[in-house]
Amino acid sequence: MLSPIGVFDSGYGGLTVFKSIVAALPQYDYIYLGDNARAPYGNRSFETVHEYTLQCVEWFFEQGCELVIIACNTASAKALRTIQQQDLPGIAPEKRVLGVIRPTAEVIGNYSKTRHVGVLGTRGTVNSQSYLIEINKFFPDIKVEQLACPLWVPIVEYGEYNSEGTDFFVKKYLDQLLAADKDIDTILLACTHYPILMEKIKKYLPTGISVIAQGDIVAESLKDYLHRHPEMENRISKGGKLSFYTTDDPSDFSEHATLFFGRPVEAQHLHLQ
């Protein structure tokens, strides 16, 4: 049976990646799930993020999805490996769950001339060291300076991305990152919520420093993956249909999602036990 591609995030952030995926691959059917009721994941333990993410992945499998994209760095950093290596072989060995860290690490070194890259993410992503490890595999000459920005996800989730107070916290983390390494010429937004703060981020960065969001990178990588795996591509339904689910209030989700997705969204509620 043909099935949609599942796209998951702790909340709204994954919609910034989903938007790029749909633009690059509009022919497929998709189901997006935001676990808004339990977001943010960024400060939660490995065990909790794994438990929540696996529960959502299993829900996608119950919907028939053969391929699930974890469009969340925190869940990719803290749960993906365990899901791929320990859970999948037992529950659904023929299905695939892919994340956002590896495809980003594979190309981020290409953006930097100074070979100094700054990585901004949640505490969970930064503490996992996933970006340090993965970037080092592909670009051993790149020096990575990481910084956790624990307030940025709540600011975005609670709709405060445009308020004046946000400027303070945007500038604070950027100053801290650049003070730690003055040679950084490329900053990766290693959290799918952060592109919503792009305008303010650019406002406080010295010229000559590029800010990279992951959406298009992940979309290109998925395109390439499906090209290289026709056995998976053949199992995906092609009707261009998008469905949205949230574990919290669907009318709130529909209202806020437009900002992240770029067009109106009609969400349904999912009750997870």
When asked if residue 73 is in the footprint of ligand DGL (CB under 6 A), the reply is yes
Closest separation in Å from C-beta 68 to ligand DGL: 15
- How far separated are the first and last CA of the chain, in Å rounded? 27
Binding segment for ligand DGL (CB under 6 A), chosen from 103-111, 190-198, 231-239, 241-249, is 190-198
Q: Which residue among 56, 65, 149, 191 is the active-site one?
A: 191
When asked if residue 41 is in the footprint of ligand DGL (CB under 6 A), the reply is yes
When asked if residue 125 is in the footprint of ligand DGL (CB under 6 A), the reply is yes
Please list the helix, strand and coil fractions of the chain in percent, rounded to the nearest 5, in that order. Answer: 50, 15, 35
In the chain, alpha helices (H): 14-24, 46-62, 73-78, 80-82, 88-91, 101-108, 123-128, 130-138, 152-157, 164-180, 198-203, 215-228, 230-233, 250-261
Q: Scan residues 98-117 and list those touching ligand DGL (CB under 6 A).
A: none
Distance CA 13, CA 175 (A): 24
User: Per DSSP, what are the bridge partners of residue 243?
Assistant: 31
Q: Is 149 an active-site residue? A: no
Q: Is 72 an active-site residue? A: yes
Q: Which of 4, 6, 42, 118 binds ligand DGL (CB under 6 A)?
A: 42
Q: Which of 122, 146, 186, 246 binds ligand DGL (CB under 6 A)?
A: 122
Q: Do the beta carbons of residue 225 and residue 180 sit within 8 Å?
A: no
Please report, as ranges, the residues that interact with ligand DGL according to CB under 6 A. Answer: 9-11, 13, 39-42, 72-74, 122, 125, 153, 191-193
Catalytic center residues: 72, 191
